[in-house]
Amino acid sequence: MKVKFWGVRGSIPTPGPETTRYGGNTTCLQVVTDNGDLIILDAGTGIHALARQLPGKLPGTAHILITHTHWDHIHGLPFFTPLFVQGNQIKIYGGRDIDTGEGIERALNVQLQYCYFPIIESELKADLEYVTILAKKSFQIGSATITPYLLNHPVINFGYKIDCDGKSIFFTGDYEPLTNHHSPNTVEFANHQQMIESNLNELVQAITNIDALIIDASYTQEEYSSKHGWGHGTHSSSMELAEKAGVKQLFFTHHEPTRSDTELEEIFKNLKKNSDFEHYLAYEGLEILL
Please determine, for residue 118, whether its predicted confidence score (pLDDT) is greater than 80.
yes
Please determine, for residue 257, whether its predicted confidence score (pLDDT) is greater than 90.
yes
Closest C-alpha to 283, from 249, 255, 248, 250? 255
Tell me what pLDDT residue 221 has: 92
Please determine, for residue 107, whether its predicted confidence score (pLDDT) is greater than 80.
yes
Tell me what pLDDT residue 43 has: 98
Compute the mean pLDDT over every residue in the chain, rounded to the nearest whole number: 93
Mean pLDDT of 152-157: 92
Of residues 172 and 187, the one with the higher pLDDT is: 172
Mean pLDDT of 135-147: 97
Q: How confident is the model at residue 164 (pLDDT cuts 50, 70, 90)?
A: very high
Which domains are delineated in the chain? 2-289 (3.60.15.10)
Edge-first strand order for the sheet with 61-65 is 127-132, 89-94, 61-65, 38-41, 28-32, 2-7, 287-289
Percentage of the chain beyond pLDDT 70 is 99
Residue 163, Ramachandran bin (φ over 0: left; ψ between -120 and 50: alpha; else beta):
beta
Please determine, for residue 57, whether its predicted confidence score (pLDDT) is greater than 80.
no
Mean pLDDT of 223-248: 94
Of residues 126 and 179, the one with the higher pLDDT is: 126
Q: How confident is the model at residue 186 (pLDDT cuts 50, 70, 90)?
A: confident
Tell me what pLDDT residue 184 has: 83
Percentage of the chain beyond pLDDT 90 is 80
CA 169 – CA 215 distance, rounded (Å) = 11
Cα distances (angstroms) measured from residue 36 to each of 62, 81, 290: 11, 19, 14
34 CB neighbour count, 10 Å cutoff: 15
Cβ contact 242:271 at 8 Å: no
Tell me what pLDDT residue 137 has: 97
Closest C-alpha to 67, from 144, 140, 163, 170? 170
Q: How confident is the model at residue 188 (pLDDT cuts 50, 70, 90)?
A: confident
Tell me what pLDDT residue 181 has: 74
Q: How confident is the model at residue 183 (pLDDT cuts 50, 70, 90)?
A: confident
CA 145 – CA 138 distance, rounded (Å) = 7
Q: Which residue type is seen at 48?
A: H
What pTM does this model have?
0.95
CA 203 – CA 192 distance, rounded (Å) = 17
Q: How confident is the model at residue 240 (pLDDT cuts 50, 70, 90)?
A: very high
CB proximity list for 65: less than 8 A, separation 6 or greater:
39, 40, 41, 42, 93, 94, 146, 158, 160
Tell me what pLDDT residue 250 has: 97
CA 70 to chain centre: 11
* Sign, CA torsion 20/22/25/26: negative
Side-chain-side CA neighbours of residue 50 (13 Å): 33
How do residues 32-56 score in pLDDT, each as one tens digit? 999 999 999 999 999 999 999 997 7
CA 218 – CA 150 distance, rounded (Å) = 19
How do residues 192-213 score in pLDDT, each as one tens digit? 678 888 889 999 999 999 999 9
Please determine, for residue 10, whether its predicted confidence score (pLDDT) is greater than 90.
yes
